Amino acid sequence: MILLTVGTQLPFDRFVKLVDEWACKNPEVEILAQIASGTYTPKHMEYVDYLDEKRYAEVFEKAEVILAHAGMGSVISSLIASKPVIVYPRKASLGEHRNEHQLATCQKLSYLKGCYIAYEPEALFTTLDELSSLEGGSINPYANDDLLATIDNFIAG
């Protein structure tokens, strides 16, 4: 099962439409899309505007792969849970955000195991076609000991 999440702040119709196009050609793959206030209505996958916290946790737990915009909450949650996450960034040049920070975020995320970045539709489709070979990553949900010591030393002054 795949969870597509565009977050709760902005719609991301371009992403939802692309995944719906892929779902049309892959009807055997179960997908739940959380589409926010988007205007595009998926035709080939289940969708909801928003998921409450409990339902999101249930769907996230069940999902084998997460599809997300470059929102850090979705990406970090996926990596902590060792679930592969395919990230498709919003582009300010297309009116999807206020600046291109999601592109910059993706450049940094591209080095993390389990994080698959797709900047263009073709790359998204290729990655989706390779679902069975995607591996989850793993990050520590706690701060690094050296960072904590540095902060303690700074506060102690």
pLDDT digits (tens, 9 = 90+) for 137-149: 877 677 777 777 8
For residue 98, what pLDDT is reported? 63
For residue 97, what pLDDT is reported? 57
Residue 65's DSSP bridge partners are 2
Distance CA 82, CA 61 (A): 11
DSSP conformation class of 41: -
Distance CA 126, CA 120 (A): 10
Task: Give, for all 157 residues of the chain, the pLDDT tens digit.
Answer: 999 999 887 788 999 999 999 999 999 999 999 999 989 999 999 999 999 999 999 999 999 999 998 788 898 899 999 999 999 997 755 555 565 667 677 787 887 899 999 999 999 999 999 999 999 887 767 777 777 788 888 898 7
Domain edges within the chain: 2-156
For residue 31, what pLDDT is reported? 98
Give the CATH fold of the 2-156 domain. Answer: Rossmann fold (3.40.50)
**Nearest in space to 102 (alpha carbons), one of 14, 3, 1, 2:** 14
pTM of the model: 0.85
Task: Enter the tokens of residue 8.
Answer: 């709760």
